[in-house]
Amino acid sequence: MPATAVLGMQWGDEGKGKITHLLAADAQLVVRHNGGANAGHSIVHEGTRYGTHLLPAGAFYRGTRCVLAAGMVIDLAVLAEEARQVGEALGWEPPVLLAENAHLVLPYHRIIEGLEGSADRLGTTRRGIGPAYRDKASRIGVRVADLRSEELLVERLYIGLTAARSSFPEAQELAALSAETMASGLLSLARPYLGSIVDAGLEIEKALTRGEHVLFEGGQGALLDIDFGTYPYVTSSSTTLAGLAAATGIPTSVVEHRIGVAKAYVTRVGAGPFPTEIDDEERANAVRERGQEFGVTTGRPRRCGWLDLPALRHAARLNRPTQLAITKLDVLSGEEELFVCTDYELDGRRIGRFPLDAAELARCRPVYESLPGWDEPLSAVTSAEALPRSARAVIAAMEDAAAAPAAIISLGPAPQETLRMGF
């Protein structure tokens, strides 16, 4: 029963898209288990670049089935458009199974996100993610299973819409919505999927029993986790290994390989404390440009920072990676001097931990070690031994912090720009 999970070890945008795409080539079932269209995966498949939000990386391989599991909030309009675009480019419609207990992102969720100002306050992606998860927790959400009956769907939408209007009684956009119109819109978007609504946990279990390779594809990263991230500057789902289990009903003990994906530096989009943020604008811009650090979902420039080992240690505790996939090492080529944060200092004392309290984290000062940089491009390097000495030192520091060996080192966006060490 080989099951592999790909989990983000930073603030999302670690390059999970490329890694899941590589690993999905050997998988029969690929499962997205958290988040929704807030995620943005950048994938190069057979020379063409795709930006996907909901379709798992398995969608690019004929015969690989994809599952959107219960921990997700699914925007059917985004899914339909993405499936159409990718399907057109590939020449077949990727088969996607929807978990009957996954929740739907509804038109009023995006409106509420706009009205409550979380995009300005927290830097959310305006995809209705927070309000959709809030309705789930309040038990007024609409689930995929509700698409089976128009009558039930209208009833559930009515409950959700009434709650939305009661929070924002003045909002014209909410007043203009009707449960009936939303239901018919959703049903027309859902038509291609109505025969593919399943108990996803059971499907995964059956695949594992048949000895198929199941690949779990995490959205976002450990530091955006609703509980263990930098709250409130986090997303609304559980982005860690534990979240995978909660979202699928598949225990973590089944997940034999846990690939922690981490960049050789760090980025984050949106607001929130970011101890190793590069404050020299010119330098930050250079990293951003070389790494093309602009959001796939929002196009926003990402904040860039030096490698943060306390944060990586924290993520490793949460995800227990068996292997690391280190990405974007090539982006550091051209830096005269590199910095690696080994600890934080708070009120003049080294603390040896990653504070969960965002206010405390904001007061932390990074303790840096510096390394000489290198000039040569890395994309054509074919073995880890041939990497510059400082690049090897960065890898070793990450392996030590995560207590896991690097099994994949990514040196560029294309699949061939990758070193694979026994995985």
Distance CA(361)–CA(352), nearest Å, equals: 12
Q: Which of 342-360 are b and which e, b meaning 16 or more Cβ less than 10 Å from the residue's Cβ?
A: bbbeeeeeeeeebbeebee
- Catalytic amino acids? 13, 41
Which amino acid is it at 412? Answer: G
Written as six digits, the tokens of 87 are 């399907």
Task: Let me know: does 217 contact 6? Beta carbons within 8 Å.
Answer: yes
Residue 112 interacting with ligand IMP (CB under 6 A):
no
Which of 51, 123, 334, 373 contacts ligand IMP by CB under 6 A? 123
Q: At residue 108, what are phi and psi to the nearest 5 degrees?
A: -75, -20
Tell me whether residue 220 or residue 240 sits nearer to ligand IMP (CB atom).
Answer: 220
Cα→Cα distances 212→26, 99, 147, Å = 10, 19, 29
Q: Which segment (32-40, 157-165, 329-337, 340-348) binds ligand IMP by CB under 6 A?
A: 32-40
Residue 260 interacting with ligand IMP (CB under 6 A):
no
Tell me whether residue 29 or residue 269 sits nearer to ligand IMP (CB atom).
Answer: 269
Q: Which segment (70-78, 125-133, 242-250, 364-372) binds ligand IMP by CB under 6 A?
A: 125-133
Tell me whether residue 147 or residue 261 sits nearer to ligand IMP (CB atom).
Answer: 261
User: One symbol per residue from 201 to 220: x for binding ligand IMP (CB under 6 A), - otherwise; what is it?
Assistant: ------------------xx
Written as six digits, the tokens of 53 are 């939000």
Distance CA(75)–CA(189), nearest Å, equals: 10
Biggest alpha carbon distance in the chain? 66
Q: Which segment (34-42, 198-206, 357-365, 390-398) binds ligand IMP by CB under 6 A?
A: 34-42
Residue 310 interacting with ligand IMP (CB under 6 A):
no
Tell me whether residue 296 or residue 346 sits nearer to ligand IMP (CB atom).
Answer: 296
150-167 and 129-137 helices, crossing angle to 10°: 110
Residue 125 interacting with ligand IMP (CB under 6 A):
yes
Task: Let me know: does 257 contact 211? Beta carbons within 8 Å.
Answer: no
Which amino acid is it at 37? Answer: A
Tell me whether residue 124 or residue 390 sits nearer to ligand IMP (CB atom).
Answer: 124
Q: How many CB atoms lie within 10 A of CB 413?
A: 19
Q: Is the dihedral of CA 33, 55, 303, 410 positive or negative?
A: positive
- Please report how close the Cβ of residue 52 comes to ligand IMP at its closest, in angstroms: 11
Task: Let me know: does 199 contact 100? Beta carbons within 8 Å.
Answer: yes
Question: Which 49-78 residues touch ligand IMP, going by CB under 6 A?
Answer: none
Residue nearest to ligand IMP (CB): 270
Count the residues of the shown chain that bind ligand IMP, applying the rule CB under 6 A.
21
Distance CA(132)–CA(155), nearest Å, equals: 17
Residue 7 interacting with ligand IMP (CB under 6 A):
no
309-319 and 241-248 helices, crossing angle to 10°: 30
Tell me whether residue 40 or residue 94 sits nearer to ligand IMP (CB atom).
Answer: 40
- Please report how close the Cβ of residue 135 comes to ligand IMP at its closest, in angstroms: 14
Residue 390 interacting with ligand IMP (CB under 6 A):
no
Which of 222, 245, 269, 318 contacts ligand IMP by CB under 6 A? 269
Q: At residue 212, what are phi and psi to the nearest 5 degrees?
A: -75, 155
Residue 223 interacting with ligand IMP (CB under 6 A):
no
Tell me whether residue 40 or residue 201 sits nearer to ligand IMP (CB atom).
Answer: 40
What is the contact surface with ligand IMP in residues (CB under 6 A)?
Answer: 11-13, 38-40, 122-125, 127, 129-130, 219-220, 224, 233, 235-236, 269-270
